Amino acid sequence: MSLPPIVVFDLDGTLAETAPDIMRVLNVILARENLSALPLERARELVGAGARALIERGFKVSGRALDTATLDRLFEDFLDIYAEDAASGSYLFDGVLSAMDRLAQEGHIFAVCTNKPIRHTRLILEYFGITGRFAAVAGRDSFPVFKPDPRHLTLTIEQAKGDPRRAVMIGDSKTDILTARAAGIPSICVPFGYTDVPIESLQPDCVIQHFDELPAAVARVLAPDAIAC
- Establish if 229 belongs to a structural domain: no
- 196-227 pLDDT tens trace: 889 999 999 999 999 999 999 999 999 987 66
Same domain flag for 186 and 104: yes
- 75-88 pLDDT tens trace: 999 999 999 999 99
Residue 228 pLDDT greater than 70, yes or no: no
Whether the CB-CB separation of 228 and 206 falls below 8 Å is answered with yes
- 10 catalytic? Reply is yes
- Residue that is last in its domain, among 84, 101, 125: 84
Residue 44 pLDDT greater than 90, yes or no: no
Range of the domain at 218: 6-17+90-222
Residues above pLDDT 70, as percent of the chain: 98
- Residue that is last in its domain, among 64, 84, 104: 84
Residues above pLDDT 90, as percent of the chain: 83
Same domain flag for 33 and 145: no
Of these residues, 10, 172, 176, 205, which one is catalytic?
Answer: 10
Output the pLDDT for position 46.
83
Across 124-129, average pLDDT: 98
- 168-189 pLDDT tens trace: 999 999 999 999 999 999 999 9
**pTM for the whole structure:** 0.94
Output the pLDDT for position 35.
92
Same domain flag for 174 and 126: yes
Same domain flag for 101 and 47: no
Peptide linkage before 5 cis (omega within 30 of 0)? no
Instruction: Report which of 227, 194, 190, 225 is spatially closest to residue 211, judged by C-alpha positions.
Output: 190
Same domain flag for 98 and 76: no
Residue 8: CB partners within 8 Å, gap ≥ 6?
110, 111, 112, 113, 153, 156, 157, 160, 162, 167, 168, 169, 170
Output the pLDDT for position 6.
98
- Establish if 68 belongs to a structural domain: yes
CATH of the domain at 172: 3.40.50.1000
Residue 49 pLDDT greater than 80, yes or no: no
